Amino acid sequence: MTEIVKFTNCFLADNSELIRKDLFINTALGIIIEDPGNRYDTSKIDVIDLDGYIISPGFLDIQINGCFGLDYSTTFTNEKSKMEFVQEYNHSMEKLLKYGVTSICPTVTSSFPEVYKDVLLILGLKTRSSVKADSLGVHIEGPFISPLKKGCHPPETITTMSNGYESLYERYGQYFEKYTAILTAAPEIEGCLDIIPKLVENEDIVFSIGHTMADFDTGLQAVKNGASMMTHLFNAMPTYTARDVGVVGLISATSDELSKSKIPFYGLVADGIHVHPSAINLAYNANPDKAILVTDALYLIGCEDGIYERGNQKIEKKGHLLHLDGTSTIAGSATYLLDCVHNLIKWTGIPIEKALATITNNPSRSLKLSKRKGFLNPGCDADLAILTKSGELKQVYKLGRKVHHFN
């Protein structure tokens, strides 16, 4: 079996550009490599003609609460239920590859300590697999959030950081930093602004502003303290108005308020339900290099329509729409990531290469992973999505191994 594969007659979608260029991968190492030139016996190179298709880095979803019936925010009653969870989790990560999603941040919403104790060490174990999507570390969303902007988070779980950084250990466990990639909290709650600098001393953890009633100045202080992301922009935060822009205003902060490099990355749920298309267009164009499409998918994605129980709550699924039963409160999404990309293209008019950056390059840079994931640079994992120019997924590769082919 050849170790070197050359993709030819293709376009590379990377860095918001579309370039006609060959791509080389080493299947033994599972990485992208430089053009070997004359340094390698050409008879030992497997050449794959892609017939004008686009090669994109595999897709990264950094806010996904579950999928295919598995809720990441759960707890175990015994060892058997734990093993069943692990089995379902691995199976769901395999199924995600079918949709071009090669890495995620499994997201745990506001919960009691026993949930974090049970699932963080499973979901947060960072992987590098050739057969399933990788975990980049957990996105912990809550419970240090505003009760006024709780969304579908159970109100009984919401709390403050009255004991400072110790509050994080009390809720998440003593080793949470090892398993965490993103922590979403409301900067205005007691103790929150003070913990941000210590949290982000760990370069593997990002602090994200979300589920908040903070005004612009409080959000600005959070960014100056080390916050570098905002969770599902527009949702669960104050409305942007002409004289009171709230934390939404951070994405277009003036240069005397924030340098361009300090403007936070921001998640957008482009499902046509969470945010109006006009607002998606406005937000994307405010700062394209910081826009990240996320699904905010609940475990009901991939499930039949109906009413489902989640803890003490009931959630109604109608197509891509999820609501707390009997209310208008959105309860996450059931829209796949590539569908969000197609929506972004339709609503903004941008070319596919720029849209793909919002699920590859941008999330990778937000988590400081650009040397490993989300780019087509030599040394990066050969996690690849092959698409038509209209954005139809045709093939998926994981660490250089073809795992899906669609006619």
* Catalytic residue ranges: 296
Query: Angle 88-150-195 (CA atoms, 0-180°, nearest 5)?
Result: 90
Judged by phi (left if over 0) then psi (alpha if -120 to 50, else beta), residue 311 lies in left
Radius of gyration of the chain (CA): 21
Coil/strand/helix, residue 338: helix
User: Whole-angstrom Cα distance, residue 93 to residue 362?
Assistant: 22
Query: Looking at this protein, which amino acid is placed at residue 217?
Result: D
CB 23 within 8 A of CB 50: no
Burial of 346 (0-12, 13-18, 19+ CB in 10 A): middle
- Reported as type and span, the H/E element at residue 140 is strand 138-141
Q: In terms of DSSP bridges, do strands 59-64 and 70-71 run parallel, antiparallel, or are they unpaired?
A: unpaired
Which residue numbers belong to the known binding site for Zn(2+)? 141, 211, 232
Q: C-alpha angle with apex 185: 124 to 343, nearest 5 degrees?
A: 80
Q: Are 187 and 219 in contact (CB under 8 A)?
A: yes
Q: How far apart are the first and last CA of the chain?
A: 25
